[in-house]
Structure 1
Amino acid sequence: MSEPLKDKEIAQLRRGGLLLPPGPRPGRRWLPGTPAEQHLLSEGRRLDRVRLLLLEEVGRLRQVAARIPRAEVLAAAAREAERMKRCPLSQTELLIVTGAARGETAEQTAARLHFAHDTVRTARVRAVDKLGANNMLHVVALCLTEEWVSRDQVRGVAP
């Protein structure tokens, strides 16, 4: 487990952001000139949005952690680790099962997770095989029953 971020580091992350190159002349902003530059700019903007979402989540988790006694957090983490040891599915397969539990199609799950559509379909087939289930509905039911996927995750409240 890594050290928690210090307040100074969090402040630096908040001030950071997407930096564009200087414009061609003073007072003129830089614009992408090639498809590669346009792609890089769109990816940079996407990553900057992810940075902001992660900072929001860090703030939310810090508030929650401040309210829960440390011993309780450690005990819950130990219970979670023990429960997940029994799960034959990979983390990727669990993410994809969570999408199915939300009612997402394979295409929607692929778009949300930034996976190829075939990756999602293959992971669904593997989950059915690993659990000896009849279909994805059966996989979802097993994962919810064993608490490998929580109701909060299905609602989109928890990671």
Structure 2
Amino acid sequence: MTKPEPLAQQDIKRLRMAGLVLPRAPRPGERWVPRTDAEVHLLREAMRLDQMRQLLLAEVGRLRQASGQRSGAEIREEAAREAARLRECPLSPTLLGVVAAGAAGLTQDETASRLHFAPASVKTNRARVAAILGTRSFGHSIAVCVQAGWVAPGPTRTGVDG
């Protein structure tokens, strides 16, 4: 048995907007009422199916919430918040130099030599970058800075030959 495809957000939206629609009344301003046994039966079945539609939608919502699955709108909102947070670079030029050296693949000692810092200062600055950006590690900090466009991956252009 194959696994069913997940419902697309637009399909769920259409299901939410759908509902039981009664036929038009014979005269404007009047309410439609079933006149035959067949119409009564069809109306009951339609009401039952509409209730099932509503129950299924509630279950889909409950399962998505329990699984932690997020909608496209939620993902876009989170990405927009993160982009707004990172729009302005919170790092000083010194810290950006340390990140750029890391992005170029330099070790802590090579970075210290190139930027004329003590190796302990480079270690402290790497930790400071991660703390400022709220990242898990210095490597994650490099990825965030490259993604934001604050530093370019590859050889550094610090103006100091090392």
- TM-score after normalising by structure 1: 0.43
TM-score, length of structure 2 as denominator length: 0.42
Query: Which structure shows the higher helix fraction?
Result: 1
Question: Radius of gyration: which is bigger?
Answer: 2
